[in-house]
């Protein structure tokens, strides 16, 4: 029991907005805020291994920082280029690789005042081969992936904000497993320039932070978009939908029961929640995702595969071996299917404001040999819709269970607002 309580202390996400409030009030300086994260990191990192490198200048840089995110400690997934910190993609092919420049997103985040405190651990090229990061809720469990270090760093309070990317389920799943907010915006809302491609049709950049409002504020500050949560705004209860397709049959029954309890509770308090049928191309789109991902990965990693195949993990090498057999017409057909499924989905969003789903098939699996399954996420990456992992539910053992909120493509402001509302509703529901 002593160990369990010690482990639980590893979970200590720090709200970005609360931090900025303290800085505004003069309680702490931006440099002190960064220092607090680094102190936290010095302790938690011994167990968690969320970082592959630390920026030794972070505190000094924070002393000069200007902008809405001054004092915010940012962890950058190590498939995103940084000029002054090696970018290794968790591949021996790129050991000590130093890009010539920062990625667009890193430049924009620095311009907004945040301080890069380090590069967070990723699976190899953001695919499936795990890194050594552990879950702050229980170090014997995976944090999920591929944005493993980003999710764990925020959960453990080592960073206020972290960048990740999602091609299958690489933002929402680790956010769910680590009990933090993950925000996969609409495709293309955050620029991908300087991020290693895996599948350009799918790869989507996104954010991790403690709460929905923290993600919304950071996304606003970085993009100059109006995404912040306005608690004063008129808010009518959203019309929600659930599409229970065949993948739900394999989900953890206890997780589904807790999700259904939440839905009952939402309905009891007046929220309309309807069950929707999968559209014509929805189910075939699962397969289309796989074909698009693999066909494009074979091109994105063409140089690595042609010149350094022996340095790829067996998992990735076999995937790329197989990908050589996908024909251009299979790929074209998959893209046409994806476009049809996107059109159908935008029609379904005429009846509901957002969809709810599980964020993963279950809580974080035990062990570090797998990062878990992206099966509850891939379709939404393909459909390019904004998705959030909303925190608050958990298993009897205290492992986080996420609720996924999905909005229409381009509808990020309303989707964030709904996710923020749901976060409060879950808290009230859990309190009973």
Residues that bind a copy of itself in the complex, under the rule CB under 8 A = 83, 94, 97, 100-104, 106-108, 110-111, 188, 191-194, 197, 200-201, 223-225, 296, 299-300, 302-304, 306-307, 327-328, 332, 410
Q: Catalytic: which of 114, 146, 357, 359?
A: 146
- Using the minimum distance from each CB to a copy of itself, give the nearer residue, 19 or 415: 415
Catalytic annotation present for 77: yes
Dist. CA 110–CA 114, nearest whole Å: 5
The alpha carbon dihedral of 114, 415, 243, 347 has a sign of negative
Dist. CA 391–CA 153, nearest whole Å: 16
Q: Are 276 and 387 in contact (CB under 8 A)?
A: no
Least distance in Å: CB of 101 to a copy of itself? 4
Dist. CA 336–CA 341, nearest whole Å: 9
β-strand pairing of 204-209 with 181-184: antiparallel
Least distance in Å: CB of 53 to a copy of itself? 17
Q: Catalytic: which of 91, 114, 147, 170?
A: 170
Phi, psi angles (nearest 5°) of residue 126? 60, 25
- Using the minimum distance from each CB to a copy of itself, give the nearer residue, 135 or 300: 300
Dist. CA 170–CA 165, nearest whole Å: 6
**CB count in 10 Å sphere of residue 29:** 15
- Using the minimum distance from each CB to a copy of itself, give the nearer residue, 3 or 96: 96
Query: Which ranges in 314-367 belong to alpha helices (H)?
Result: 314-323, 328-348
- Using the minimum distance from each CB to a copy of itself, give the nearer residue, 135 or 293: 293
Least distance in Å: CB of 184 to a copy of itself? 18
- Using the minimum distance from each CB to a copy of itself, give the nearer residue, 34 or 106: 106
Helix (H, G, I), strand (E, B) or coil at 365: coil
Largest CA distance in the chain: 61
Angle at Cα 232 formed by Cα 226 and Cα 233, nearest 5°? 60
The two structure tokens encoding residue 203: 């790869």
Least distance in Å: CB of 179 to a copy of itself? 31
Least distance in Å: CB of 83 to a copy of itself? 8
Least distance in Å: CB of 44 to a copy of itself? 31
Q: Catalytic: which of 59, 77, 110, 184?
A: 77
The two structure tokens encoding residue 346: 């935008």
- Using the minimum distance from each CB to a copy of itself, give the nearer residue, 25 or 100: 100
The one-character DSSP state at 389 is E
- Catalytically active residues are 77, 146, 170
């Amino acid at each position: 029991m002593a160990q369990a309580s010690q482990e639980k202390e590893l979970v200590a996400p720090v709200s970005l907005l609360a931090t900025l409030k303290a800085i505004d009030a003069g309680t702490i300086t931006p440099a002190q805020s960064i220092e607090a994260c680094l102190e936290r990191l010095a302790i938690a990192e011994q167990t968690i291994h969320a970082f592959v490198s630390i920026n030794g200048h972070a505190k000094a840089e924070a002393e000069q920082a200007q902008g809405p995110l001054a004092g915010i400690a940012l962890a950058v997934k190590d498939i995103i280029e940084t000029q002054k910190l090696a970018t290794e993609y968790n591949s021996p092919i790129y050991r000590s690789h130093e890009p010539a420049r920062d990625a667009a997103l890193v430049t924009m985040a620095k311009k907004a005042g945040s301080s890069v405190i380090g590069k967070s651990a990723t699976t190899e090229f953001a695919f499936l081969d795990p890194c050594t990061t552990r879950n702050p809720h229980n170090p014997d469990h995976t944090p999920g992936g591929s944005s493993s270090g980003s999710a764990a760093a925020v959960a453990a309070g080592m960073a206020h904000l972290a960048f990740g990317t999602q091609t299958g389920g690489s933002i929402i799943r680790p956010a769910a497993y680590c009990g933090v907010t993950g925000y996969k915006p609409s495709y293309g809302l955050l620029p991908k320039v300087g991020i290693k491609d895996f599948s350009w049709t799918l790869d989507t950049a996104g954010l991790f932070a403690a709460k929905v409002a923290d993600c919304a504020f950071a996304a606003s500050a970085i993009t100059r978009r109006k995404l912040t949560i306005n608690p004063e705004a008129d808010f009518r209860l959203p019309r929600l939908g659930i599409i229970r397709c065949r993948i739900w049959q394999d989900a953890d029954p206890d997780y589904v029961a807790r999700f259904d309890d939440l839905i009952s509770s939402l309905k009891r308090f007046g929220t309309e929640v309807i069950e929707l049928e999968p559209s014509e191309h929805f189910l075939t789109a699962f397969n289309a995702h796989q074909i698009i991902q693999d066909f494009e990965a074979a091109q994105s990693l063409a140089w690595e595969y042609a010149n350094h195949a022996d340095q790829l993990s067996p998992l990735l090498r076999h995937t790329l071996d197989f990908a050589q057999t996908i024909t251009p017409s299979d790929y074209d057909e998959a893209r046409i299917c994806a476009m049809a499924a996107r059109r159908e989905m935008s029609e379904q969003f005429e009846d509901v404001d957002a969809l709810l789903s599980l964020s993963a098939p279950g809580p974080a699996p035990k062990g570090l040999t797998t990062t878990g399954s992206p099966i509850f996420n891939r379709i939404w990456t393909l459909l390019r819709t904004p998705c959030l992992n909303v925190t608050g539910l958990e298993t009897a053992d205290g492992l986080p269970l996420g609720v996924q909120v999905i909005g229409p493509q381009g509808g990020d402001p309303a989707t964030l607002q709904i996710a923020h509302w749901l976060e409060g509703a879950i808290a009230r529901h859990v309190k009973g």
